[in-house]
Structure 1
Amino acid sequence: MNDILIKKTIAVFQETFGTSPEKMVLSPGRINIIGEHIDYNDGYVLPAAIDKIICFAFAKNNSKKSRILALDLNEEFEVDLTQPISLSNVVWTNYILGVIKQLQDNGLLFGGFDCVFSSDIPVGSGLSSSAALECGTIFGIAALFNLSIPKVDIALMGQKAEHWVGINCGIMDQFSSVMGQENKVIKIDCKTLDYEYHDANFNDYSLILFDSNVKHSLMTSAYNERREQCDEGLAIIKSNFPEITSFRDCNESHVLSIKEEMAPNVFDRCYYVIKEIHRVALACKALDNGDIKTLGKLLFETHEGLSKEYLVSCQELDFIVDTLKQEKAVIGSRMMGGGFGGCTINLIKKGEEEAIKAKLTQMYKEAFDIELKIYDVKIGNGTSLYEPVF
């Protein structure tokens, strides 16, 4: 439990608004074990909510305006709920404006509210702080004004809000933030939104994130470009194989047989996607069998694909994975998230973690003159109400 974060959020709410919050919401970031860049390609992903959260404090203010304070940024803004919602020049506010717009567009009635939020999710590290912000805001408004919104719909509204902001993301981030369960990973069918939980028992291995502490500016443009390339490739596949409706219906032989019809970069993207969808199934089987070494091997394979075929890695991430690959205590490592920076997710033998952390930190600093950030994470629950004691 993030007690310090919760107490700080409550204290600032009381100080700012002169009253105690009526509703508290905890909304987590997420990791993805495997299935990267697959959620917008109708495949399967294997994410989990983590014990890094955004804590929200909400109260009604009996007006038509809402006032939101981002404690960590020491910034606030006000939104008039009677006026049309439009994009702001202040990036973080757009995620909240986006979900308010979604609620209004869906005909849900609510009034003005006051909100303070604070987070221990590292921003820009690929842990989906934006999804936590979107889903936590919707969850809080729903609780405050007794709106009945199914959890899956909260995730879908969060996704649409992100599209409105300009990131054409799939459903994984919001879905795992809302639907997470402690010590479980979620296998999500991104086409139907069917899902199933698998035990996240990594046995003799710890789950550790190494944050490259870089974020290259290619991210948004390259992300949307990858989507377009996959759409282009799938159209070519469908024209040759009418029975195929999505990448999940393909195997490697389909795309290899028509390689000459695709631009090289389109072929590479499609080839990666088809193999990665298959890796998710293998990863679920490995987890169910307690075969964590096979899971680790799959992580290394995914990184190779993301780096060489999908081209969303960078030299810093490749350095981390290549360095860890030489360590016997590390059985799996890959970049996680959209790419071009952010974190690697790593499986490290228990008892060897501190030695690996120290060695990698020194080597990374020598190679790039950048401080590595390290997060030990546990798999936690999805977005939920928290009952404070005042």
Structure 2
Amino acid sequence: MNDILIQDTIAFFKKSYGTEPQKIVLSPGRINIIGEHIDYNDGYVLPAAIDKIICFAFEKSNANTSKIIAIDLDEEFEIDLNDPIELSEQVWTNYIRGVIRQLQIKGFQFEGFNCVFSSSIPVGSGLSSSAALECGFLFGVKELYNLDIKPVDIALMGQSAEHWVGINCGIMDQFSSVMGLENKVIKIDCRTLEYEYHDANFIDYSLILFDSNVKHALMTSAYNQRREQCEEGIAILKINFPEVKSFRDCTEEQVHSVKDKMSGDVFKRSLFVVKELKRVIQACEALDNGDIPTLGKLMFETHQGLSQDYEVSCPELDMIVDTLKTEEAVVGSRLMGGGFGGCTINLIKKGHEERIKAKISALYFDKFGIKLKIYDVKISNGTSLYKNS
């Protein structure tokens, strides 16, 4: 699949500019195995890069102007590197403008370039196509002009570019897009940016995403509200337990002991965060032991928490997970991402994939009249140069 994408991108570049590209860059989307809604609570996350990618082709333009073509959108734009960089109504271009702005703010010296890109990452499915766009583009300019930028700084600059566009994301998406390794998950400490790799030995299992094909409008307002509720919860805990600096210092018992000092919602949000932090640690132990059924059990528990305590699920996602829970061949399933739509991430025993795909698709369509989208994914390497470039 990606081989065809790469060759088509190179061919489009040649047709557009009449030359061979100087650099080909592949930048992946990501999944998160477990650790949801705790990146902004000083928590740990467990993401991985996947084999859905954006392919970029680059050359120096030998001018101060740069031309960038989005093949899939059939759109393009030009930018003069001498002009002030401002937000545009052409939304996808803002991620690229943000990256160029970051490079300029950091004082890197580079000139114009020509670029085309195309993607196999489904947009709007929660697989972080924007992070792949930012980090792949930045990596390409770095390679083209031999800029001295460390991988972790590519991730941080990509995050800053996204903040400039107006999306207050954590570091997980960009970090996993840049730092991913084949068949490894990355445990990232969102407080310190320390990270470690754990084997993801899914040899007997398939990772399949079921895309609900819905996105409820609650997402943004609820996300901001959950952040505020967590801030209120940790503030109450700090007052009552001076040794507590963040939720990772808390026990479930401590949260229960101050229940009467919290609103019902703040209590539920706080309890979810403390439990989810523990689940990430347990998930790493399960992976290290090759114990995929235990990992799956933790994924089901996370979904229950996200649905009941954090209240960011929706009927469509709950239906998918509840149905899969009755299947012996499904060892784990949960909603992935912000919630209120998007994908579930599912671990299914090999040999049962097609039957389960057919069953859940039919049931889902019967209940909601919506076609389920299905993505088979493998854990792969982070942003890199294509070997032939």
State TM-score, norm by structure 1.
0.97
How far the C-alpha of 1:203 sits from its partner, in A, is 4.2
Give the distance between the partners of 1:266 and 1:112, measured in 2 at CA. Answer: 50
Aligned to 2:72: 72
Aligned to 1:353: 353
Give the distance between the partners of 2:91 and 2:222, measured in 1 at CA. Answer: 19
Give the distance between the partners of 2:268 and 2:79, measured in 1 at CA. Answer: 45
Aligned to 2:50: 50
The number of residue pairs the alignment matches comes to 389
Aligned to 1:179: 179
After superposition, the Cα gap between the structure-2 partners of 1:18 and 1:126, relative to the gap in structure 1 and judged at 3 Å, is: same
How far the C-alpha of 1:104 sits from its partner, in A, is 1.3
Kept in 2, the 8 Å contact 1:54–1:119? The answer is: yes
Aligned to 2:252: 252
Kept in 2, the 8 Å contact 1:121–1:129? The answer is: yes
Structure 1: unaligned runs, 5 residues or longer: none
Q: Does 1:144 align with 2:144?
A: yes
Aligned to 1:82: 82
Give the distance between the partners of 1:265 and 1:104, measured in 2 at CA. Answer: 44
Q: Does 1:302 align with 2:277?
A: no
Aligned to 1:275: 275
After superposition, the Cα gap between the structure-2 partners of 1:386 and 1:203, relative to the gap in structure 1 and judged at 3 Å, is: closer
Give the distance between the partners of 2:282 and 2:207, measured in 1 at CA. Answer: 19
Per-residue CA distance 1:68-92 (angstroms, 9 max, x = gap): 1111111111222222222222221
Deviates more, 1:163-172 or 1:44-53: 163-172
How far the C-alpha of 1:18 sits from its partner, in A, is 1.8
Q: Does 1:321 align with 2:335?
A: no
Match of 1:379, SS state, is: coil
Give the distance between the partners of 1:388 and 1:87, measured in 2 at CA. Answer: 35
How far the C-alpha of 1:65 sits from its partner, in A, is 1.9
Aligned to 1:17: 17
Per-residue CA distance 1:241-269 (angstroms, 9 max, x = gap): 22111111111122222122223222222
How far the C-alpha of 1:358 sits from its partner, in A, is 0.6
In the TM superposition, what are the counterparts of 1:116-195 in structure 2 within 5 Å? 116-195=116-195
Structure 2: unaligned runs, 5 residues or longer: none
Aligned to 1:200: 200
Kept in 2, the 8 Å contact 1:203–1:292? The answer is: no
- Counterpart code for 1:182: E
Match of 1:21, SS state, is: coil
After superposition, the Cα gap between the structure-2 partners of 1:244 and 1:159, relative to the gap in structure 1 and judged at 3 Å, is: same
Kept in 2, the 8 Å contact 1:168–1:224? The answer is: no
Per-residue CA distance 1:309-344 (angstroms, 9 max, x = gap): 222211111110011111111111001112121111
Deviates more, 1:371-380 or 1:199-208: 199-208
Aligned to 1:28: 28
Give the distance between the partners of 1:216 and 1:90, measured in 2 at CA. Answer: 23
Give the distance between the partners of 1:326 and 1:255, measured in 2 at CA. Answer: 32
Kept in 2, the 8 Å contact 1:336–1:342? The answer is: yes
Give the distance between the partners of 1:10 and 1:296, measured in 2 at CA. Answer: 40
How far the C-alpha of 1:229 sits from its partner, in A, is 2.2
Kept in 2, the 8 Å contact 1:167–1:224? The answer is: no
Give the distance between the partners of 2:241 and 2:166, measured in 1 at CA. Answer: 33
After superposition, the Cα gap between the structure-2 partners of 1:114 and 1:366, relative to the gap in structure 1 and judged at 3 Å, is: same
Give the distance between the partners of 1:13 and 1:121, measured in 2 at CA. Answer: 20
Per-residue CA distance 1:93-135 (angstroms, 9 max, x = gap): 1111111111111111211111111000011111111111110
- Counterpart code for 1:91: V
Q: Does 1:334 align with 2:324?
A: no
- Counterpart code for 2:289: N
Give the distance between the partners of 1:241 and 1:323, measured in 2 at CA. Answer: 41
How far the C-alpha of 1:270 sits from its partner, in A, is 1.6
Give the distance between the partners of 1:256 and 1:155, measured in 2 at CA. Answer: 37
Would you identify which runs of 4 or more consecutive aligned residues in structure 1 move more than 4 Å? none
After superposition, the Cα gap between the structure-2 partners of 1:20 and 1:220, relative to the gap in structure 1 and judged at 3 Å, is: farther
Match of 1:167, SS state, is: coil
How far the C-alpha of 1:169 sits from its partner, in A, is 1.2
State TM-score, norm by structure 2.
0.97
How far the C-alpha of 1:225 sits from its partner, in A, is 2.7
Match of 2:378, SS state, is: coil
Match of 2:15, SS state, is: helix
RMSD (Å) for aligned C-alpha atoms: 1.3
Identity %: 74
Deviates more, 1:201-210 or 1:146-155: 201-210
Aligned to 1:239: 239
Per-residue CA distance 1:335-388 (angstroms, 9 max, x = gap): 111212111111111111111011001001111111111111111000001143
Per-residue CA distance 1:134-189 (angstroms, 9 max, x = gap): 10011011111111100001111111111112221111111111000001111111
Give the distance between the partners of 1:137 and 1:222, measured in 2 at CA. Answer: 31
- Counterpart code for 2:263: A
In the TM superposition, what are the counterparts of 1:361-372 in structure 2 within 5 Å? 361-372=361-372
Give the distance between the partners of 1:264 and 1:154, measured in 2 at CA. Answer: 40
Aligned to 2:311: 311
Match of 1:221, SS state, is: helix
